[in-house]
Amino acid sequence: MTVTYVRRRAHRSQATTSTTSPPMRSRNRAPDASMDLLNQIIRQPLDPDYALAAARGTDPARGRWTLAVLAMIIGALFSVAALQTTREAPALQSERTELISRVQAAEKEQDQLRGRVNLLTQEIATLRAAALGGDEAARTMEAQIDTLDPVVGYVAVTGPGVLIVVDDSPSAAADARDRVLDIDLQVLANGLWEAGAEAISINGHRLSSLTAIRSAGDAITVDYRSLTRPYRVEAIGDPLTLQARFVESSAGAWWNDLAQNRRMRYEISDVKQLDLAADPGIVLRHAGRAAS
Amino acid sequence: MIPLVGLLAGIVLGIFVEPSIPQVLQPYLPIAIVAAMDALFGAFRAYLEGTFTDRVFVVSFISNVLIAAAIVYVGDQIGVGSQLATAVVVVLGIRIFTNAAAIRRALFHA
Tally of domains within chain A: 2
* Domain shared by A51 and A137, yes or no: no
Does residue A248 belong to any structural domain of this protein? yes
Whole-model pTM: value is 0.47
- Substitution target in B4, B11, B17, B62 with the highest count of A β-carbons within 10 Å is B11
Residue ranges of chain A whose pLDDT lies below 70: 1-38, 45, 57-63, 290-292
Model pLDDT, residue A106? 93
Answer whether residue B91 shows pLDDT above 80.
yes
Q: Does ipTM surpass 0.85 in this model?
A: no
pLDDT tens sequence across A101-133: 999 999 999 889 888 888 888 888 888 888 877
Q: What are phi and psi for residue A116, nearest 5 degrees?
A: -65, -40
Q: Which of A217, A229, A211 is nearest to A166 (CA)?
A: A229
- Set of chain A residues whose Cβ sits within 8 Å of the Cβ of B33: 77-78, 81
d(CA B30, CA A140): 78
CB spacing of B94 vs A42 below 8 angstroms: yes
Residues A263 and A174 in one domain: yes
CB contact under 8 A, A54 and B53: yes
> Looking at residue A177, what DSSP letter applies?
G
- A78 and B33 within 8 Å at the Cβ level: the answer is yes
CA distance readout (Å), A247 to A103, A201, A272: 39, 18, 19
Nearest CA to CA, how far is A43 from chain B (Å)?
A: 9
Contact between residue A132 and residue A138 where contact means Cβ atoms under 8 Å apart: yes
Name residue A201's beta-bridge partners: A206, A234
Closest CB from B2, B9, B12 relative to A67: B2
Residue A65 lies in a domain: no
A162 and A270: one domain? yes
| Gap between the Cα atoms of A12 and A197, Å rounded | 86
Greatest Cα pair distance, chain A, in angstroms, is 117
Closest of B106, B105, B102, B99 to residue B38, by C-alpha: B99
CB B103 within 8 A of CB B44: yes
Is A43 found in the same domain as A159? no
Tell whether A20 is covered by a domain.
yes
Question: Residue A36 is part of which domain span?
Answer: 2-56
Residue B15 Cα, gap to closest chain A Cα (Å): 6
Do A202 and A213 contact (CB within 8 A), yes or no?
yes
In a domain, A265, yes or no: yes
CB contact under 8 Å between B10 and A74, yes or no, is: yes
Q: What is the pLDDT of residues A252-285, one digit of tens each?
A: 888 888 888 888 888 888 888 888 888 777 777 7
φ, ψ for residue B9, nearest 5 deg: -60, -40
- B11/B29 Cα distance (integer angstroms): 15
CATH number at residue A159: 3.30.70.1880
Answer yes or no: is A244 within a domain: yes
Pairs of CB atoms within 8 A across A/B: 136
Nearest to A232 by CA among A189, A169, A283: A189
- Model confidence pLDDT, tens digit, residues B39-57: 888 888 888 888 888 888 8
Measured between beta carbons, the chain A residues lying within 8 angstroms of B29 are 77, 80-81, 84
Where b means 16+ CB within 10 Å and e means fewer, A183-196 reads ebbebbbbbbbebe
At residue A6, the pLDDT reads 42
| SS3 label, residue A29 | coil
Please give the Cα distance from A231 to A222 (Å, whole number).
Answer: 11
Please state, in angstroms and rounded to a whole number, the distance separating the CA atoms of residues B75 and B88.
Answer: 11
pLDDT at A78: 85
Identify the pLDDT of residue A5. 41
Residue-level pLDDT at A19: 41
Question: Is there a domain that residue A173 lies in?
Answer: yes
How many residues are there in chain A? 292
pLDDT tops 80 at residue B66: yes
For residue B42, the chain A residue with the least C-alpha distance is A46
Whether A63 and B50 lie within 8 Å, measured CB to CB: no
Whole-angstrom distance, CA of residue B21 vs CA of residue B88: 21
Q: Do B99 and A38 touch (CB under 8 A)?
A: no
* Residue A54 contacts residue B50 (beta carbons within 8 Å): yes
- Burial pattern A141-168, b for ≥16 Cβ within 10 A else e, equals eeeeeeeebbeebbbebebebbebebbb
Dist. CA A231–CA A201, nearest whole Å: 10
Of residues A51, A69, A81, nearest to B30 (C-beta) = A81
